[in-house]
Amino acid sequence: MKSVLVTGGAGFIGSNLVHALLEREVEVRVLDNLSSGHLANLADVRDRITFVEGDIRDRPTLTTLCEGVDYILHQAAVPSVPRSVKDPWTSNDANVTGTLNVFLAARDAGVRRVVAASSSSVYGESKVLPKHEGMRPAPISPYAITKYVAELYGAVFKETFGMEIVCLRYFNVFGPRQDPQGAYAAVIPRFIESIREGISPTIFGDGTQTRDFCFIENVIQANLLACEAPDAAGRAFNVGCGSRITLLDLVEAINEELGTKVAPEFGPTRAGDVQHSLASIEDAESILGYKPAVQFREGLRKTIAWYGRSL
């Protein structure tokens, strides 16, 4: 692995991937339109990467950046289920049209493999647990639909063009560099910030919904393994920990780590949110060689420590 393009490389997952690649002395190129990413996430490595502020929907920019690249780690997207419910068109334009542009540019440049971020949301509200890759996707939000369509494109590009595209279905990723601000901030950084400030975090629903929270270091491992795994092309793999907790338990765990006793408040269930999520990681273990090295509580502790240093 000599040269890698990370789309969305100024975002939470993308910037962590950039740092991990640089530790392996890989040449890194980053494309990000900074709509949700932040240059601060790359401040300590700006002089070691090629950074282009641009959009994955811009074909000429992609064409230039893909020249001579071995791998693409495609993380760029308009994230958030609630945001997609409010504005389906923008999510579709970025996540479907943008991803198609990435795949086409990779094809034309002869990129060896693309590893693309997908989502556990593709499974929808199925009562079957754990979610496994043999299940039929049943998305219930525009965001989930966009991620599933991207997976379909990946499989078709393998059959039609012989391209190597691997999709990773992330389950509730959390960790350092995740933005706690904004209307669509992820639950763990939002809860940490609220509880640290003595403000009751808002749970949408009754708090009994469960999530398979996956620390960022596990996601980095999965991406790097997916670049090289010989039998992975054309497939989608779950990336989680194979365990779950309720949002009520999440609030309790954050309070325990911070030494606080801040109770949550409750709001109405949001459209598009699933009730329970749990990953089967057997395929990722057997084909990618993936094994989550950091379980939830250790990851939470590391995340809280990072936010404490970044304040």
Give the tens place of pLDDT for each residue, 140-173: 999 999 999 999 999 999 999 999 999 999 999 9
Contact 73, 14 (CB under 8 A): yes
User: What is the per-residue pLDDT for 183?
Assistant: 61
pLDDT level of residue 245 (50, 70, 90 thresholds): very high
User: What number is the average pLDDT over the span 15-41?
Assistant: 97
The string of pLDDT tens digits covering residues 49-80 is 999 999 999 999 999 999 999 999 999 999 98
Q: How far apart are CA 177 and CA 257, in angstroms?
A: 19
Tell me whether strands 3-7 and 27-32 are parallel, antiparallel or unpaired: parallel
> Tokens representing 117?
């971020």
Mean pLDDT across the chain, nearest whole number? 96
pLDDT level of residue 181 (50, 70, 90 thresholds): confident
> Tokens representing 252?
């309790």
Q: How far apart are CA 265 and CA 283, in angstroms?
A: 38
296-310 and 247-258 helices cross at what angle (nearest 10)?
Answer: 50
User: What number is the average pLDDT over the span 262-289?
Assistant: 95
The string of pLDDT tens digits covering residues 212-236 is 999 999 999 999 999 999 999 999 9
pLDDT level of residue 184 (50, 70, 90 thresholds): low
Give residue 264's identity as a one-letter amino acid code: P
For CA atoms 157, 163, 169, 175, the dihedral sign is negative
Q: How far apart are CA 198 and CA 212, in angstroms?
A: 26
Residue of 170, 244, 163, 171 lying closest to 209 (CA atoms) = 244
The string of pLDDT tens digits covering residues 114-125 is 999 999 999 998
The string of pLDDT tens digits covering residues 133-142 is 999 999 999 9
Q: What domains does the chain contain, in order, with CATH numbers?
A: 3-174+215-240+280-293 (3.40.50.720)
The string of pLDDT tens digits covering residues 75-113 is 999 998 999 999 999 999 999 999 999 999 999 999 999
